[in-house]
Amino acid sequence: MTNSYAQLWDLDPNTTYLNHGSFGPSPIEVRQVREEWSLKLQRQPMRFLCQQMEDLLHSTAEELAEFLHTKPARLALIDNATIAMNIVADSVELSAEDEVLFTDHEYGAVRNIWQRRCQAVGAKIVTAQLPYPLNDADTVRALTDAASERTRIIIISHVTSPTAAILPVQQICEMAKQRGILTAIDGPHAIAMLDVHLDKIGCDYYCASCHKWLCAPFGSGFLWVHPRHHHNVKCPIVSWGGSMAGHAPIWQDRTNWLGTRDPAPLISISAAIAFFKRIGLNTFREHAHQLICHARRELLAIDGVGPFCTASESNVVSMCALELPQPADWKPGYHGHPDPLQIELREQHGIETPVASWNGKRFLRVSAHLYNSPAHIDKLLHAVKNSPNLR
C-alpha cells in the first residue's frame, strides 16, 4: 500500500489520504524543524521574539523569494492565505461606487472577506461566470466582459479550489492593467504545484498558504505586494507596528508582530523548500500527475462521470475534480455537510477525499502527493464504482 516516499511522512496508517489539496501534512523532517524552532522559543522567549524573530522571518523570506522568483522586500510571511486576503481587503481603497470582480470559481471564505469589505462601504461584488468547460481565451473574455468602469479590483484564484482548474492569471492581470484595474491572486494551490514567478505575473497582490502543496507546517503562508502599494498596506489586526529588534521601519512591521504567537511554522517554510530541493519538484509533480491521470481516466470510464472543468490531462497536475451523477434526492450541499459518498468513503473505507457541490453540480476532488501510491487510487476507484451513494 505504501511507497518509499510515504515513509517520509507519519500519516495515520488507517487513512488513505487523498485530500492534500485541503490540508497538506508536512514530511517528518519539516515537522521536526518546526518543533526545534518552537523549543528555541520556549527556552528563551525574550531573546527569540524580541531579538531574533525578525531576522529569522527575513532570512526565510529570502529563501521563499528565491523559490518564487521575487524579492524578499515584496514578501510578508503571514499565517495563511485567509489572513493575507483580509490584509489586501483592508488595504485597497474602496468606495460605494466601486465593484469588486470575482469569478464563479472563487473560494467561499475569500468571497466572505470581500463581501464584508464591500458591505462596509456600499461597494458591490460582481461575479463573472466562466465558460463551462473552461478554456483560457474565454476565461479572459468573460472577465473582460464583466469588468466595467467601476471595477476596482479583480480577485482570481491561480488554481481554483472546487474545480481544480489552473486559471490564466498572467493574461487576466494584463487585461486588468490595461483598464486600470487592480488584481489580487488567491494562490495557495499554485505554490509547488506550479512554477510561480511572482514578479512576472503582473498582479498587485498575491496571497498564499504554504501548508498545501509545499508541505510547510500548518500556519505558514505569505502576502506578496507590489512595491507601489507597500506604503498602503493595512493590517486588520493592529499591534505594535514597528520593529521589536530596533531595525529600520519596513512595511512588514505591520504584519510581523500580530501580538504574541509562535512563528515556528513561518520560519520552517525554509525546511519545506529544502525538502523539495532535495527530492525535486518535478519528482513530486510527475508522481502526482501520473496518479491523478490514472484516477481521472478510470473515473471518467464510469457512466455519468464527466470531466467537469478540466478538459484534458494536460490541465491537471496533482489535483483533479470530476462531475458525478446526481442522485434523485440530491441537493447541493454546503460546507460542513458532506455528501453521503464522502461520508461513506471516510467511514467505511478510510478514504479522505471531498465530494461537494459547485454551481449546482456534484463533484469529487482527488489530490495526490508523494506519499500516495497507485494502490490508494485503486482503493478509491473500487469504493466509488461499488458505492450505493454514487448515483
Chain residues that interact with ligand PLP, rule: CB under 6 A: 22, 80-82, 107, 109-110, 157, 161, 186, 188-189, 209
Nearer CB in complex with ligand PLP: 43/335: 335
- Taking the complex as a whole, the smallest distance from the CB of residue 58 to ligand PLP amounts, in Å, to 22
Nearer CB in complex with ligand PLP: 81/196: 81
Nearer CB in complex with ligand PLP: 22/283: 22
User: What is the H or E stretch that residue 78 is in?
Assistant: strand 75-78
- Taking the complex as a whole, the smallest distance from the CB of residue 272 to ligand PLP amounts, in Å, to 14
In Å, how far are 74, 75, 262, 290 from 62, measured between CA atoms?
Answer: 10, 9, 20, 33
**Contacts of 228 by beta carbon, 8 Å cutoff, 6+ apart:** 204
Q: Is the dihedral of CA 220, 270, 238, 236 positive or negative?
A: negative
Q: Could you tell me the three cell numbers for 307?
A: 470531466
Strand order in the sheet with 355-358: 319-324, 361-367, 355-358
Nearer CB in complex with ligand PLP: 6/24: 24
- Taking the complex as a whole, the smallest distance from the CB of residue 109 to ligand PLP amounts, in Å, to 6
- Taking the complex as a whole, the smallest distance from the CB of residue 210 to ligand PLP amounts, in Å, to 9
**Contacts of 231 by beta carbon, 8 Å cutoff, 6+ apart:** 251
CB of 63 closer than 8 Å to CB of 276? no
Nearer CB in complex with ligand PLP: 60/209: 209
The 10 Å Cβ neighbour count of residue 217 is: 24
- Taking the complex as a whole, the smallest distance from the CB of residue 268 to ligand PLP amounts, in Å, to 15
Q: Could you tell me the three cell numbers for 369?
A: 502527493
- Taking the complex as a whole, the smallest distance from the CB of residue 219 to ligand PLP amounts, in Å, to 9
Nearer CB in complex with ligand PLP: 161/373: 161
